[in-house]
Amino acid sequence: MTRTSHSVALPRVVSIADLRALAQRRVPRAVFDYLDGGAEGEVTLRENCRVYEDVAFRPRHAVAFADCSLCTSVLGIDLALPFMLAPVGYSRLMHPTGEVAAARAAGNAGTAYILSTISGHKLEDVKAASTGPVFYQLYLMGGRAAAEAAIERARLAGFSALVVTIDTPVSGIRERDYRNGIRELLSGSPVEKLRFLPQVLSRPAWLASFLLDGGLPALPNVVIPGQGPVPLVDVAAALAASAVTWSDLRWIRETWRGPIVVKGVLTGEDARRAVDEGAAAISVSNHGGRQLDCVPSPLRALPEVVKAVKGQTEILMDGGIRRGTDIVKALCLGAKAVLCGRAYAYGLAAAGEAGVNRAIEILRTDLDRTLRLLGCASVAELDRSYVNVPQSWDA
Ligand SMILES: Cc1cc2nc3c(=O)[nH]c(=O)nc-3n(C[C@H](O)[C@H](O)[C@H](O)COP(=O)(O)O)c2cc1C
């Protein structure tokens, strides 16, 4: 992986927005909307990105340093970058190499990849593809028996941590998916799939690679003992079968006996609860605006969570990150690192592994430039003194 090869592969891509535009041109509309869309009126989806505009930098000028450090650690694991790749279900729909490509790109960049339960590739293959740490995001699809089997496989394969997502008691209503008929695309009969013909035929490169890949398989990591992999279901049904409660979390902790990240915290109360339940880290998240609409953006929720946690666990966050400046703002407000979802998934949909590499490279160079412009030599030194936030955020 070199900088030159990225720029040759995708010469005119300078921002994540460019990758998004390329993705839109490469995959059928139903697939793009599944990736790009949010719940209900998409208020939260928009706010997740917009909120970074409320935070202004306070740069320190006339300082110079030779090197800028982007290194951090999460759960005691050293990372070369202060961002990781978030779990994105059905990544294989975006590109046949899906989760394997994303994990490899993350590893090559020295950061972690978080594999969704709703993966089209076997967790062992994903782990083997990466030279970096890989975490497993656990939903309780298929019940505790399937979860226990997945936990055991993840342990044997060498996954570093479990990420337990707590914000999916049911699926949020993603209106674009309903209108497009994502259920029929994923698991409909051949007749039901006919309606997608015009949009898939207009994306021949995607269609060819999808057909060569043999379509999406049954979920290889959701295996009910004695019954085999759970067949592909639509997204809403998958999430409805995935709810995790605090008592499930206790069971998961005892079964896994390793570090757990609780993902989907938006309030001080849930943050405290997660700490008390033994979370090694929490991710402040609203699932990228795909669950309950009109909840706070994660950046806006960070100060409340930081205050409640009192330094007793590591705080991560995800949502709306499209630029290195967004990451720096989150770190200034107390996140140890962030998770990027769509930022790299647009790259995956646009150009497979080369697209993920490009997304990572964009964010890395953004980060380096932002630190230098800010007059800060290391992400470890970032704190509130580098930003102005609206007064109401500290109330
Ligand atoms: C297409 C898509 C699928 C997702 N699938 C999962 C999933 O399977 N499990 C999970 O915990 N989060 C899932 N998420 C949420 C992401 O992990 C992350 O919280 C979110 O994408 C962050 O917002 P961002 O996309 O603006 O970076 C998904 C997000 C997207 C966009």
- Centre of ligand 1 from the C-alpha of residue 95, in Å: 16
Residue 319 Cβ inside 6 Å of ligand 1? The answer reads yes
- DSSP string spanning 11-30? TT--SHHHHHHHHHHHS-HH
Whether residue 287 lies in the annotated active site: yes
Angle formed at CA 391 by CA 387 and CA 394, multiple of 5 degrees: 90
CA-based max dimension of the chain: 66
Question: In this predicted structure, what is the pLDDT of residue 8?
Answer: 52
Identified catalytic residue from 6, 95, 121, 287: 287
pLDDT of residue 158: 98
* Residue 91 CB less than 6 A away from ligand 1: no
Name which residue sits closest to atom 3 of ligand 1, judged by CA. 88
Task: Give whole-number Cα distances, 130 to 14, 68, 135, in Å.
Answer: 26, 25, 11
Cβ 87 under 6 angstroms from ligand 1:
yes
- pLDDT at 4 exceeding the cut of 80: no
According to DSSP, residue 315 is labeled E
Report CA(264)–ligand 1 centroid distance (Å): 10
Which of 36, 52, 88, 234 gets mutated to test ligand 1 (max ligand atoms within 8 A of its CB)? 88
b/e 272-305 (16+ beta carbons within 10 angstroms → b): bbbbebebbbbbbbbbbbbbbbebbbbbbbbbbb
Question: What integer is the mean pLDDT of 67-76?
Answer: 97
Q: How far away, in angstroms, is 66 Cα from ligand 1 center?
A: 36
Between 185 and 348, residue with greater pLDDT: 348
- pLDDT band at residue 388 under the 50/70/90 scheme: very high
Spatial neighbors of 271 by CB under 8 A, at least 6 apart, are 265, 282, 284, 304, 305, 308, 309
165 lines ligand 1 (CB under 6 A): yes
Instruction: Calculate how far, in angstroms, residue 135's C-alpha sits from the geometric centre of ligand 1.
Output: 14
| Cα–Cα separations (whole angstroms), residue 310 to 1, 38, 211, 287, 317 | 40, 32, 51, 24, 16
| Pocket lining: 92 vs ligand 1, CB cutoff 6 Å | no
Q: Average pLDDT of 321-334?
A: 98
Which H or E element spans position 338?
A: strand 337-340
Which residue, by CA, sits nearest to atom 1 of ligand 1?
A: 35
pLDDT score, position 6: 44
For 391, the 3-state DSSP assignment is: helix
Cβ–ligand 1 contact at 44 (below 6 Å): no
Task: Write out 229-240 in H/E/C secondary structure.
Answer: EECCCCHHHHHH
Q: How far is the CA of 262 from the centre of ligand 1 (A)?
A: 14
pLDDT at 5: 42
How far is ligand 1, taken at its centre, from the CA of residue 92, in Å? 14
Give the residue whose CA is nearest to atom 11 of ligand 1.
Answer: 165
The residue behind tokens 């928009």 is: 46
318 lines ligand 1 (CB under 6 A): yes
95, pLDDT greater than 60: yes
- Is the CB of residue 141 less than 8 Å from the CB of residue 117? yes
**What is the per-residue pLDDT across 111-159, written as a single tens digit (0 to 9) for each?**
999 999 999 999 999 999 999 999 999 999 889 999 999 999 999 999 9
pTM, full prediction: 0.96
Query: Taking a C-beta distance cutoff of 8 angstroms, is the pair 285, 318 a contact?
Result: yes
Is the distance from the beta carbon of residue 285 to the nearest atom of ligand 1 less than 6 Å? yes
Most informative mutation of 287, 318, 327, 339 for ligand 1 (most atoms within 8 A of CB): 287
CA-closest residue to ligand 1 atom 20: 288
Q: Is 86 in the pocket of ligand 1 (CB under 6 A)?
A: yes
- pLDDT tens digit string along 229-263? 988 777 777 777 778 999 999 999 999 999 999 99
pLDDT in tens, 43-56: 999 999 999 999 99
Amino acid identity for residue 271 in this structure: A
The DSSP secondary-structure symbol of 379 reads G
Which residue has a Cα nearest atom 4 of ligand 1? 88
Rounded Cα distance between 256 and 292, Å, is: 29
Beta strands in 90-182 (DSSP E): 113-115, 134-138, 161-165
